[in-house]
């Protein structure tokens, strides 16, 4: 794992998100987009947050910057934020599957890639349905005055763009100061073998749950580097492993990756510096904790029962 490359990828992505969010706000594009996406409120999203799922597809960090400003201004509550972010997962998953996941795995493992994609989508569909129900109940008595389309005009000029870029870069610099020590701590733990020690310790427990040596090898490898682990799926197929066992192994491998790496490398940077610790913790539980529980539970169920 090239930590230097990972660090600069994270910082670059976050800086892009901050700059994009600042430009969108300064040009009033966020307000205009909010009017265009008001119909998304039927999915249980607060009217002021209906632009979040759309911005999320471009830059999750930008979406969180926009949402956090509304939270700071007292225009929304934490629950409104949670519902909007959870609702954003489904379109984000669809984009990830057809742009990154399926083009890589479909040629490698064939139909199994499609089955696993459906397994992942099932979780997001259930979450979206739950959010829709909760949101509709929560907002059915909400009195919200919708502004007229002509009341919001996008302003694009050199002065506005410059202000947005400078504001975004300033926020990105503050984030870098907060994130760098945490990143260095995690890298230190990995370099000292803490993650490998943990996966090795968990190996016997996976065996007790019904996973054989090859499946355990996949899980422990996926916890560190999923692309490297994907090659083992081809081996399982060649050895005529049951599809349910392969899917279960992939699910648990994904859960381990999220547990050991994904939450701090790919999720925490979106929240750090934007929200109070309480909200950051809850977002991590919702965005990392729930998928971990789902993937682990489904994985074990597929291997033990089927």
Report how far residue 183's alpha carbon sits from residue 264's, in angstroms, rounded to the nearest whole number.
8
Which pLDDT value is given to residue 195?
66
DSSP character for 38? G
The pLDDT score that the predictor gives to residue 35 is 63
CA distance 43 to 54: 13
Q: Residue 1's pLDDT is what?
A: 55
Sign of the Cα pseudo-torsion (294, 298, 300, 301, in order): positive
The domain spans of the chain are 28-154, 193-306
**Beta carbons within 10 angstroms of residue 100's beta carbon:** 10
Taking the C-alpha atoms of residue 260 and residue 263, their distance in angstroms, rounded to an integer, is 7
Length of the chain in terms of residues written: 306
- The answer to whether 276 and 71 have CB atoms below 8 angstroms apart is no
- Token pair of 305 as six digits: 């029962």
CA angle 194, 198, 203 (to 5 degrees): 150
User: Whole-prediction pTM value?
Assistant: 0.78
pLDDT in tens, the chain (306 residues): 577 887 888 788 778 877 887 888 788 777 677 666 667 667 889 988 988 888 888 778 888 988 999 999 999 999 999 999 999 999 888 888 877 677 778 888 889 999 999 999 999 999 999 999 999 999 888 766 655 544 557 777 888 888 889 988 988 888 788 778 877 877 787 788 776 787 678 778 888 899 998 898 889 888 877 877 887 888 899 899 999 999 999 999 999 999 988 888 778 887 887 899 999 999 999 999 999 999 999 999 999 887
Q: Name, in order, each residue with C-beta under 8 angstroms of 125's C-beta and a sequence gap of 6 or more.
A: 90
The pair of three-digit structure tokens given for residue 270, joined into one six-digit string: 């979106």
The pLDDT score that the predictor gives to residue 149 is: 44
- In angstroms, the CA 254 to CA 225 distance is 10
């Amino acid at each position: 794992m090239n930590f230097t490359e990972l660090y600069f990828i994270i910082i670059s992505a976050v800086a892009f998100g901050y700059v994009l969010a600042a430009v969108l706000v300064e040009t009033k594009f966020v307000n205009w987009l909010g009017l265009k996406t008001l119909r998304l409120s039927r999915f249980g999203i607060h009217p002021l947050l209906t632009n979040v799922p759309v911005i999320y597809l471009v830059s999750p960090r930008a979406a969180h910057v926009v949402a956090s400003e509304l939270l700071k201004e007292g225009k929304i509550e934490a629950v409104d934020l949670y519902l909007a972010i959870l609702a954003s997962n489904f379109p984000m998953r669809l984009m990830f599957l057809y742009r990154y996941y399926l083009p890589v795995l479909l040629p490698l493992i064939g139909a199994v890639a499609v089955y696993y994609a459906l397994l992942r989508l099932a979780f997001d569909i259930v979450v979206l349905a739950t959010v829709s129900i909760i949101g509709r109940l929560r907002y059915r008595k909400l009195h919200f005055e919708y502004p007229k389309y002509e009341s919001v005009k996008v302003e694009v000029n050199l002065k506005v763009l410059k202000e947005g870029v400078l504001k975004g870069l300033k926020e990105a610099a503050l984030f870098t100061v907060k994130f760098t020590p945490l990143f260095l701590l995690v890298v230190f733990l990995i370099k000292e073998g803490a993650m490998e020690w943990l996966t090795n310790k968990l190996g016997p427990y996976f065996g007790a749950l019904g996973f054989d040596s090859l499946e355990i090898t996949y899980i422990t490898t996926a916890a560190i580097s999923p692309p490297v682990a994907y090659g083992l799926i081809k081996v399982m197929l060649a050895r005529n492993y049951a599809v349910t066992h392969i899917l279960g192994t992939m699910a648990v491998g994904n859960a381990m990756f999220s547990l050991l790496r994904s939450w701090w490398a790919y999720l925490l940077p979106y929240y750090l510096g934007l929200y109070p610790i309480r909200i950051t913790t809850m977002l991590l539980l919702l965005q990392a904790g729930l998928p971990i529980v789902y993937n682990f539970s489904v994985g074990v169920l597929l291997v033990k029962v089927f």
